Amino acid sequence: MTEAEEYPPIEAYGVVGNLETCALVAPDGSIDWFPFPHLESPTILAAILDADRGGRFRITPTDGFESERRYVGDTNVLETTFRTDEGTATVTDFLPPASRVDHPKKVLYRKVGCADGTVDFAVELEPQFDYGRADATIESVDDGVLAEGGDERTLLESPIDLEIEDGRITGDLSLQAGEEAWFLLRCTGAEDANTDPEAALEETIAYWTDWVHDCDADDDCAFEGPWHDSVVRSQLVLKLLTHAESGAIAAAPTASLPEDVGGVRNWDYRFNWLRDTGFTVQALMNLGTADEGRDYFDWFMDLCQADDPAAIQPLYGLHGESDLEERELDHLEGYRGSSPVRIGNGAAQQRQHDVYGELLLAVDEMRQHGRGLSDDEWTRIRDIVDYVREIWDEPDAGIWEVRGGDRHFVHSKVLCWVALDRGLAIATDGGHDAPLEAWRETRETIREDVLEHGYDEDLGAFVQAYGTDAVDATGLLLPIVGFLPFDDERVQGTIAAIEDRLLEDEIFVLRYDGDDGLPGEEGAFVLCSCWLIDALALSGRVDDAQSRFETLLEYLSPLGLLAEELDPETGSHLGNYPQAFSHVGIVNSALYLGYARGHETPGPPPMGIRLGEPSVDLES
């Protein structure tokens, strides 16, 4: 088997989940990633990180085939249809959403149905508990085959006889037209649960269909356009990455998918980054998913309530865990030899001053949607703003979490300015007690400092960090967060410099062109492409922005999913997948383009309109 056959392209995978964990399904019907019981838990299946030792659950035709993938309507129920010379059959994969349907959430359902002819399948389950570190025992039982390892166990309930050999469970299935078979992977806690597979499927489809964004033909939907379906799929991805218990949203459901295939840029993204809060809340609220927006807001407000501002971390576990020790799994080879394989994330211990501005953007966004602050909540927010006054002039690791030492990043300074600016607006609007004059003084000091040290007159643009001439895509956010208006020549100069030095083929935007302390290269960052689209749309270059957005959407996976990055040369997806921030970018770019084309949303204008003084005439 070739490397390409062992490791399908990242964008070839589909994702299903139950609002607590997710599974990735390859085009050949192999589930190659499945942490349990939560996203950040150790894996039961991880062949995507090691084809030989990771573990998989595969149901695939024994003869040559072609496969097509689709989600059932606007749901997270995945269908893989196989066509062989002898017939056509479909494997349907799903997990019932936790606390949303009356079926056990800890059961992975796989339905195999034959539409015509005859199709023979090979069934293979190779569980590898705890990333393959736990010794597993496998035995036949009345209902199927039971596998145990570490603290977890699985029961494969099967309609066919199964054999056990060398840690693998195998069997053969033959279906004729009109026949179907169900395979249920019952995980710890669901071995004896009552299940009705057909009812579980119907209720899961009904849940997603009822939940997802919908608009009548007569509605003036802000997301109207040829990208509407892509926005809806992005919404479904964001929901799939939302933890049902806490409301936290994972950056991605995977760990260590490489930003540079064969390289070392492999990170665990199964956590929530506070820097994502402002733009994520904006996306959720404008999609009409107000409950999810409020739950997410309440979750990170609780984190702020619990910690002294100095102790607030850039990222947390989905239950609020702060100990995210980064470790390397040397026994796994990594996706296509990309090592080391890492779990946990050392960035949790970095100093990232931009986090505070992102938090204040989210608080202000919720204020715009009518969510006030209690006295206790305001006390914590006031403490954060006061803390920013103390530390804004210190170096940090920045939004990109560089590992080459702290620096005076322009974006971090600007987001500290945002913390003061939004803190002043929230205090004034809500009548909250605050040292307003002191905050105004610091806000102006930060602004003057950034304009003096962060802007390069010769380049005609803002740079990545003081004392360098490197350009950073975060410069596109300066007008969106209100630091300068869109028509300011320094903003337009920065956009031009980013187009000149970071842009490839009109749509692929690199994060920066400076050294980050790591070997190797990375792809273009999807979110940065979205930032460029936003900046162009709100600078009056609406047709240009729309053209680039439509080009970007051509690189969506066949299922409408996006990884963190794209390879500018091949269009292949890189990094963890699907990536929440990439899909947030799709939603917000569609939102800004909608505004620029004259559409409105039921709520307040989004922050790029409200704060950024756009050049485009939104009334035209």
CATH code: domain of residue 39: 2.70.98.50
**Does 307 map to a domain?**
yes
Average pLDDT over residues 441-455: 98
* Residue 492 CA neighbour count, 13 Å, CB half: 11
CB 479 within 8 A of CB 613: yes
C-alpha pair distances (Å), 76 with each of 69, 100, 198, 204, 459: 12, 14, 16, 9, 47
How much is the pLDDT for 3?
58
Amino acid 473: pLDDT: 98
pLDDT at 219 over 60: yes
Task: Please count the CA atoms within 13 angstroms of the CA of 106 that sit on its side-chain side.
Answer: 17
Could you give phi then psi for residue 375, rounded to 5 degrees? -60, -40
- Residue (of 478, 460, 579, 486) closest to 524 by Cα position: 579
Nearest Cα to Cα of residue 109 among 170, 158, 177? 158
> In which element (H, E) is residue 301 found?
helix 290-306
Check whether residue 178 and residue 297 sit in a common domain: no
Average pLDDT on 91-102 reads: 92
Q: What is the mean pLDDT of residues 568-584?
A: 97
Q: How many CA atoms lie within 13 A of 45 on its CB side?
A: 23
Residue 209 lies in a domain: no
Does 402 score more than 90 pLDDT?
no
Regarding whether 160 and 259 lie in a shared domain, the answer is no
Q: Residue range 385-399: average pLDDT?
A: 97
In the prediction, which pLDDT does 619 show? 42
pLDDT of residue 76 exceeding 80, the answer is yes
User: What value does the mean pLDDT take over residues 210-215?
Assistant: 89
pLDDT at residue 479 is higher than 90: yes
In percent, how much of the chain has pLDDT > 70?
97
Q: Concatenate the DSSP letters of all residues of 332-383 into one string.
A: S--GGG----EES-GGGGS--THHHHHHHHHHHHHHHTT----HHHHHHHHH
Q: Which string of DSSP letters, residue by residue, matches 591-614?
A: HHHHHHTT---SSPPPHHHHTT--
Q: What is the model's pLDDT at position 200?
A: 95
Whether 285 is covered by a domain: the verdict is yes
pLDDT above 90: residue 304: no
Mean of pLDDT over the chain: 94
- Nearest partner of 532 among 601, 488, 597, 593, judged by Cα: 593
Cα(472)–Cα(351) distance, integer angstroms: 19
State which residues form the domain around 106: 3-194
Pick 5 or 582 by higher pLDDT: 582
Do 120 and 173 sit in the same domain of this protein? yes
Nearest by Cα to 414 from 347, 491, 349, 489 = 491
379 inside domain: yes
> Would the pLDDT of 608 be above 90?
no
pLDDT tens digit sequence for 359-382: 999 999 999 999 999 999 999 999
Residues 389 and 528 in one domain: yes
Helix (H, G, I), strand (E, B) or coil at 458: coil
The enclosing H or E element of 156 equals strand 152-157
**Residue range 244-275, pLDDT digits in tens:** 999 999 999 999 999 999 999 999 999 999 98
Both 163 and 237 in a single domain?
no
Which of 177-181, 195-199, 564-568 has the least mean pLDDT? 195-199
The token duo for 272 is 């929530």
Instruction: Indicate whether 300 and 173 sit together in one domain.
Output: no
Share in percent of the chain as helix, strand, coil (round to 5):
35, 20, 45
pLDDT at 358 over 90: yes
Q: How many domains is the chain built from?
A: 2
323-350: pLDDT as tens digits: 999 999 999 999 999 999 999 999 999 9
CA atoms 378, 380, 386, 388: torsion sign = negative
Question: How many other C-beta atoms can be found within 10 angstroms of the C-beta atom of residue 19?
Answer: 21
Same domain, 189 and 326: no
Tell whether 215 is covered by a domain. Answer: no
Pull the structure tokens for residue 38.
């939560």
Print burial letters for 226-252: b (CB count within 10 Å at least 16), e (below 16). ebeebbbbbbbbbbbbbbbebbbbbbb
In a domain, residue 414? The reply is: yes
Same domain for 78 and 182: yes
* pLDDT at residue 601, rounded to an integer: 74
Cis peptide, bond prior to residue 605, ω within 30 of zero? no
| C-beta of residue 76 within 8 angstroms of C-beta of residue 70 | no
Lowest model confidence (mean pLDDT) among 493-497, 498-502, 513-517, 552-556: 513-517
Question: Residue 612: what pLDDT?
Answer: 79
Q: How confident is the model at residue 102 (pLDDT cuts 50, 70, 90)?
A: confident
Q: Find out whether 341 and 47 touch, Cβ atoms under 8 Å.
A: no
Instruction: Please check whether residues 160 and 252 belong to one and the same domain.
Output: no
Residue 307 pLDDT: 67
User: Which residue among 194, 220, 255 closes a domain?
Assistant: 194
pLDDT of residue 6: 86
The pLDDT value recorded for residue 616 is 59
CA distances to 119, 423, 476, 535, 548 from 448, rounded to whole Å, are: 70, 19, 19, 23, 34
Do 257 and 304 reside in the same domain of the chain?
yes
Please check the confidence at residue 576 and state whether its pLDDT lies above 50.
yes
State the pLDDT at residue 617: 58
* CATH code, domain carrying 348: 1.50.10.10
Residue 201 falls inside a structural domain: no
Mean pLDDT, range 122-132, rounded to an integer: 97
Check whether 1 has a pLDDT greater than 70: no
Whether residue 303 is predicted with pLDDT greater than 90 in this model: the reply is no
433-445 pLDDT, tens digit each: 999 999 999 999 9
Same domain for 300 and 373, yes or no, is yes
Checking if the pLDDT of 137 tops 90, the result is yes
Which one of 151, 176, 194 terminates a domain?
Answer: 194
Is residue 469 domain-shared with residue 350, that is, in the same domain? Answer: yes
| Residue 618 resides in a domain | no
